[in-house]
Chains A and B, each alone.
Chain A
Amino acid sequence: MRLTRRDFVKYTGFGAASLLGMSFLGCMTKETTKDTLIIGYAEDLKLRGDPAKIDRSIPKFCVLERLIEYDLSSDDFVPSLAKKWNVENGGKRIVFELKKGILFSDGIEVDANTVKFTYDILVVKKHSVAPGSVEVIDDHTVAFNFDEAWVLNFAKLQDVHGLGVMSPKSVKPEGDPNGTLVDLIGTGPFKVIEYVENQYTVLEPNRYWFERTGLEPKIKKLIVKVIPDEDTRVMALRSGEVDVLIDNYHGGYDYTPRNQLSELKKEGFKILAKNIPYTWIVVFNYKKEPFNDVEMRWAVNYAINRDEIAKIFDGWVRPAWDGMFPPEAPGMVEASIRYGYDPEKAKEIVSGKDVGEIKLIVDKSQSDQVLVAQLIQQQLKNVGLSVKLETLEKGVYKQKRNSGDYNLRIYYIGGSERTFYMRIFWRFLPPEKPWKVYMSNNVTEKAMAVVKEFDKTKRRQKFIEFYKALYEEAGVAPLYYEVVAVAEKPNVEGIKFEYSEPRFYSTYVKA
């Protein structure tokens, strides 16, 4: 057969087009292999700049470890890098003995000087949760001095906006607490290999951590990709570009929308949800009418059907009928608190009062809370309260909150396990601040007693008294108990929660 010039052009053109097409499709091939786990995450990990600002959950639990951790189930502070400790000077001084032979991923051993370096980052910056001073006693003993004799000091050490013990080489100039973070080096299960700001971070197993724990890493790489938009994040999971979505639950932002979890589950994705001592509440402006009246605060509590609110999230959260924190919180079950739904009683209270229009404010960047606020508006209307709902930009919300220009607002108390104690401090204890949720002589005294008490048994009793005092004064209206959620592809195995955080050291992706 004779090949004409026309045929030649036709066949070579077709061949070239096919090659081009194949190479195009080739570059679209998904990069997930069984050696790599790709996580979709809402925020950049902030691994450069100020080392005191590492507040993202991933570096917190993948790269760093702390001296101690907090176990909510037993209400104990438990050893991590510290082997044991002594409380001295009536509670104002805590002396930690460090475990020996623990290495940072750069091979440097953790000693008292490296611990001092880490916490001096907070001291020199006069961070609000910084200890007063840090002293090196010997190579493996370090002492922290605080201004107050509070058990809360332990909480400060295990959650200082995520700061964990880091190698002095993490900053430049090396070992300078005022230095700039250039390469986060911790003792945790993973080490940072590559960081491209606002795009992705690549981590690899830290062999020293695995040698120490006797475990074998099952993945070679952990890639964290930054996807700020929540809908895009969910689509990236659906398209297979990421294997896992995890929440960044600092302050109620940047998590997988709760009302998408059921849909994902139906589509075959696995959803892991861990209950945490984190409660969404209605905050009353108790400094002015009508909610300076305890009866009116009760009326709101009676009017809210918490089951309906939990339904918004397809049952992924629990309605907060049993007190300000979920039953896992210390002393919560023993406190035997029960908020009732009694719209008739609420109507009765409201009918006897001259209440004008009530202003309910909500931060519109928290899309879930806007839905909750709309439902509350309706529920309060049903008992005769006229509610003007203001869905506000975050800054405006804060300004109104700070100036007291509201009657009700949607907010949260508690947090992950490691923030549990700190949030009691941040929400209920003096000094008076706009972000405190309720303070009265009785409630504040009871809350103060909790954070001061070192003895666990006595502290539990004080917790109960605190919960009851808050309940009796209807200081807040709890709505629902939050969870931390992980949405993962069906072929991802081995993610487990430790405390409130998903851990990846045993994770693998089936081919």
Chain B
Amino acid sequence: MLRYIARRALQIIPTILGISIISFSLLYIFPGDPAEFIVEARYGVEPTQEMVEKIRIEMGLDKPFVVQYFNWLSKAVRGDFGISWTEDKTVMEVILERLPISAELFFATFAISIAFALILGIISAVHKDKAVDHICRIYSLLGISIPSFWLGLILIWIFSVQLHLLPAFGCCELKHLILPVLTWSFSFMAIKTRFVRASLLEELSQGYVITARAKGLPEKLIIFRYALRNALIPIITYFSLSISHLIVGSIMVEVVFSWPGLGSLLVESVFKRDFPVVQALVFLSGVLLITMNLVVDLLYAVIDPRIRYGD
């Protein structure tokens, strides 16, 4: 097991390097001169040639790309992404200020989505091709298709403008949480509902389920004790991977509801050309996804006794 962990940890290094190259390159992929971006972001004025040259030297932008990249990476691995160009704070300070706000929205959505996705997925699979299954499938289709910003505005119109029940914007009280969570859950849950349904249906078509039915075991027992437990392995993988949405998964929801989390930070930073923040968010988001992938792989062994790493 330990050998497996070590091997996987080594395997993720090239992937992280790849992500870091992409994150760092954003500064250059984006059209325009980075030195000009810094002048505009820092001083709020159109840049003069003298200001641009001064910044280019000050920020080391006159050095070769590779040198700049390794300078950036050596700091990034220590959690130092430099100073925000617009906020006069370190990038980590800016991110850590917003992280709890995003986490509040994400985990509320995550918990609700998983609970309902499981319930709806199971109902849908058990009642395959019946009315309730069709309803669940239509919902899944709508949830995947309807854009969050549109749904968010419609919910604001219904619950804030018409019914005066919930606030249209703001954070960080329970009442502010309801509409953003509802909006985000609608799509978040839809994909997962389909996934639960598909996984469970696959298990229900397995030979051991047919045998269990032939032996006359109660249907509830077959579904919950045998089929669902086996179907849970891919479901847990899929659900766990969605934790990577924590960082920038809720961009549209945060923008529509003025939720000052990491999603809206990313949008603001892109608009203001605050590249150190954009780079850090892209990099951290990638690293979180890879880390979750590793954790999930390791969790397999815990969930499924058949899997033994290194045996």
Contact = CB atoms under 8 A, between A and B. Distances in A.
A232 B43 contact: no
Contact of B45 (A25, A127, A200): A127
A229 B174 CA distance: 21
A231 B43 CA distance: 29
Contact of B160 (A198, A236, A395): A236
A197 B157 CA distance: 26
B156 A27 contact: no
Interface of B: 30-32, 36-37, 42-46, 48, 51, 87-89, 97, 153, 156-157, 160-161, 164-171, 173-175, 255-258, 260, 264, 268, 271, 273
Interface residues of A, number: 44
Interface in A104-147: 125, 127-129
A435 B40 CA distance: 13
A236 B45 contact: no
Contacts of B175: 27-28
17 contacts: A27-B173, A28-B165, A49-B89, A53-B44, A125-B43, A128-B43, A128-B48, A226-B260, A227-B169, A228-B268, A229-B256, A232-B153, A236-B168, A239-B161, A241-B167, A394-B271, A395-B32
Contacts of A28: 164-167, 175
A506 B170 CA distance: 27
Given A27-B175, A231-B153, 11 more contacts: A28-B175, A53-B43, A128-B43, A198-B264, A235-B157, A236-B169, A238-B161, A239-B156, A395-B31, A399-B31, A402-B36
Contacts of B36: 402
A220 interface: no
A241 B31 contact: no
B169 A225 contact: yes
Main secondary structure of the interface of B (DSSP, over half): loop
Interface string A179-220: 010000000000000000111100000000000000000000
Nearest to A42: B258
A394 B30 CA distance: 11
A161 B44 contact: yes
Contacts of B174: 27
Given A241-B169, A396-B31, A235 B258 contact: no
A431 B46 CA distance: 12
Contacts of B164: 28, 30, 239-240
A365 interface: yes
B46 A235 contact: no
User: Which 8 residue pairs spanning A and B have beta carbons closest together?
Assistant: A49-B88, A399-B31, A239-B160, A198-B260, A399-B32, A238-B161, A236-B168, A239-B161
Nearest to B159: A239
Interface string A332-369: 00000000000000000000000000000000010000
Interface of A: 25, 27-28, 30, 48-50, 52-53, 55, 125, 127-129, 161, 180, 197-200, 225-229, 231-232, 235-236, 238-241, 365, 394-396, 398-399, 402, 426, 431, 433, 435
Nearest to A398: B32
B45 A365 contact: no
Counting chain A CB atoms within 10 Å of each CB, which of B51, B89, B169 scores highest?
B169
Nearest to B45: A128
A180 B88 contact: yes
A18 to B, nearest CB: 17
Contact of A50 (B88, B161, B256, B271): B88
Contacts of B268: 228
Nearest to A50: B88
Given A50-B88, A395-B273, A396-B31, A232 B45 contact: no
Contacts of A53: 43-44
B26 to A, nearest CB: 11
Nearest to A127: B43
A165 B31 CA distance: 38
A232 B258 contact: yes
Nearest to B54: A126
B30 A395 contact: yes
A199 B260 contact: yes
A433 B257 contact: no
B169 A232 contact: yes
B158 to A, nearest CB: 11
A82 to B, nearest CB: 25
Contacts of A396: 31
A242 B164 CA distance: 13
Contacts of A200: 170
A23 B173 CA distance: 14
A228 B258 contact: yes
A149 to B, nearest CB: 21
Counting chain A CB atoms within 10 Å of each CB, which of B32, B44, B166 scores highest?
B44
A404 B44 CA distance: 22
B225 to A, nearest CB: 33
A243 B256 CA distance: 19
Contacts of A365: 271
Nearest to B172: A199
Contact of A199 (B156, B160, B171, B255): B171
Contacts of B255: 228-229
B198 to A, nearest CB: 35
Contacts of B51: 128
Contact of A228 (B37, B160, B264): B264
B271 A232 contact: no
Nearest to A365: B271
Contacts of A225: 169-170, 258
